[in-house]
Amino acid sequence: MLFPMPPLDAPHTDVSTIPALAADVRRTFESGLTRPIAWRRLQLQRLHALLTEREKDLLDALEADFQKPRFEGWATEAGFTATDVRHTLSQLSKWMRPERVRTNLANLPGSSRILREPLGCVLIIAPWNYPIQLVLSPLAAALAAGNCAVLKPSELTPACATLLAKLVPEYLDREAVRVVGGAVEETTALLRERWDHIFFTGGGAVGRVVMEAAAKHLTPVTLELGGKSPCIVDADADLVTAAHRIAWAKFLNAGQTCVAPDYVLVHKSVESALLDELKKVVTEYYGADPQKSPDFARIVNTRHHARLVGLLGDGEAVVGGQHDAATRYLAPTVLTKVKLDGKLMGDEIFGPILPVLAVDSVSEAIRFVRAREKPLALYVYSRSQDTVDEVLAGTSSGGVCVNDCIMHLTVPDLPFGGVGPSGMGAYHGKAGFDCFSHRKSVLDKSTMVDPPLRYPPYSADREKWARRLL
């Protein structure tokens, strides 16, 4: 596909209809429609059908929005989400079972259990960088838990937003799942409504807006944010493998990935060797001229492209650096001699620019990471378990990969989420089901016996026995 492309507007929902839409969805939930396991299974099966039957349409939309390579579109969006849905279907009965817990002596004869019940009506606000996965993967968890959902796709990927607005009502229950199109005005209107949970993926600035709006209704939130995810490469690392995995993770989706390695802290003794390997890998992946490669995506819009180009001056390019505003192209770029006080190292890059900084030791790398906000992900490359343990114990992050990048997201039973400024709450697999469920505690007591121990009038003997039992 050639750039520049003709502009495409995402569908907009009439703001005046949003209160009625929210009320309709709530009536659907209160009717009990979404609670039975049969309904939940059917919706997940239909969602899987959407992802598989309309895979070509989804990949076409991703290509139209930012020239995402079709393999990446399948691997990180349609295929990834379909796998998530299949896993959820296979585990749903188990996740829904009541959880038996021990009953203490004071409540015998009796039994205790925890029931998972749906929260109600949830709002899912998705970003533009993975515009299919980050709408439909949270939706799968919400449906599995028995909720109604309103989806707000990003207006910055209009082809995907348009397609979702078309496909969701074709495949899923129209009374329980709705799509709202638009931008700031429509999102603001949605946030005025009362929801039982808000799931937001995006940047910290908008995350604060979402949290503030949710506080007015005491609505719980899941915030999947981002941050500068560091990559620590020790002197004993397998540099060939490290370079392949770091470059793949960084330049996937042209760096527009919340868990992309944001910068590398490499032991100074192997800095030159790692840079040499990164140079080789970029050519291996994308050829001598990555602009001609069908396997390298484009920046989502001209504003983000200009922002990224403005960061190039904060370092010296040893790989890449070329850019073209007309096609929103920015080459896979590796920078050294990086300014620590510039915007490059101050904000999440969210593009195909990889700063490489040399450090004297792993301890120095840990201090560097700890001096900054807690990241969404952290990556460490080393053959030494002691080094890995030192990094794990000395840093805090949403998740970690040892000797790899990003792939922790693909383990269904690993919760995915941030910590501190990189987010709150988690999903994927059972964590997603739990995210959209309320754990309701239930104590069943027998009426066959009713010891008067807890009832007035109180006495010294009753207190003595109560202290033994409680």
Residues 6+ apart with CB under 8 A from 355: 262, 263, 264, 314, 315, 335, 336, 338, 344, 345, 349
Q: In this structure, what token pair is assigned to residue 369?
A: 């990471």
pLDDT class of 7 with cuts at 50, 70, 90:
very low
Q: What secondary structure letter does DSSP report for 74?
A: I
CA-atom Rg of the chain in angstroms: 25
Q: Is the pLDDT of residue 330 over 70?
A: yes
Residue 404 has φ and ψ, to the nearest 5°, of -165, 175
Q: In this structure, what token pair is assigned to residue 82?
A: 């379909």
Q: 182, 17 in Cβ contact below 8 A? A: no
Domains and CATH numbers, the chain: 15-225+421-440 (3.40.605.10), 230-414 (3.40.309.10)
Q: Provide the β-strand partners of residue 402.
A: 380
**224 is known as an active-site residue:** yes
Mean pLDDT on 293-317 = 97
pLDDT of amino acid 467: 86
Give the DSSP H or E segment for 148: strand 148-152
Q: Report the percent of the chain where pLDDT is more than 70.
A: 98
CA neighbor of 357 nearest in space, from 459, 271, 296? 271
pLDDT tens, position by position, 31-52: 999 999 999 999 999 999 999 9
Q: Provide the β-strand partners of residue 443.
A: 112
- The amino acid present at 140, given as its one-letter code, is A
Buried b (16+ CB within 10 A) or exposed e, 240-254: eebbbbbbebbbbbb
pLDDT tens, position by position, 249-283: 999 999 999 999 999 999 999 999 999 999 999 99
DSSP SS3 for 398 = coil
Asked if the bond preceding 451 is cis, omega within 30° of 0, the reply is no
pLDDT of amino acid 232: 98
Q: 435, 222 in Cβ contact below 8 A? A: yes
CA neighbor of 436 nearest in space, from 98, 145, 44? 145
Q: Is the pLDDT of residue 5 over 90?
A: no
Give the DSSP H or E segment for 357: strand 353-359
Q: In this structure, what token pair is assigned to residue 74?
A: 């399948």
Q: What secondary structure letter does DSSP report for 104?
A: P
pLDDT of amino acid 106: 87
pLDDT of amino acid 14: 95
Active site residue: 224, 271, 277, 390, which one?
Answer: 224
CA neighbor of 177 nearest in space, from 165, 168, 186? 168
Q: Is the pLDDT of residue 2 over 90?
A: no
Active site residue: 121, 148, 258, 435, which one?
Answer: 258
CA neighbor of 117 nearest in space, from 137, 136, 96? 96
Q: 233, 263 in Cβ contact below 8 A? A: no
Mean pLDDT on 317-332 = 97
Mean pLDDT on 307-332 = 97
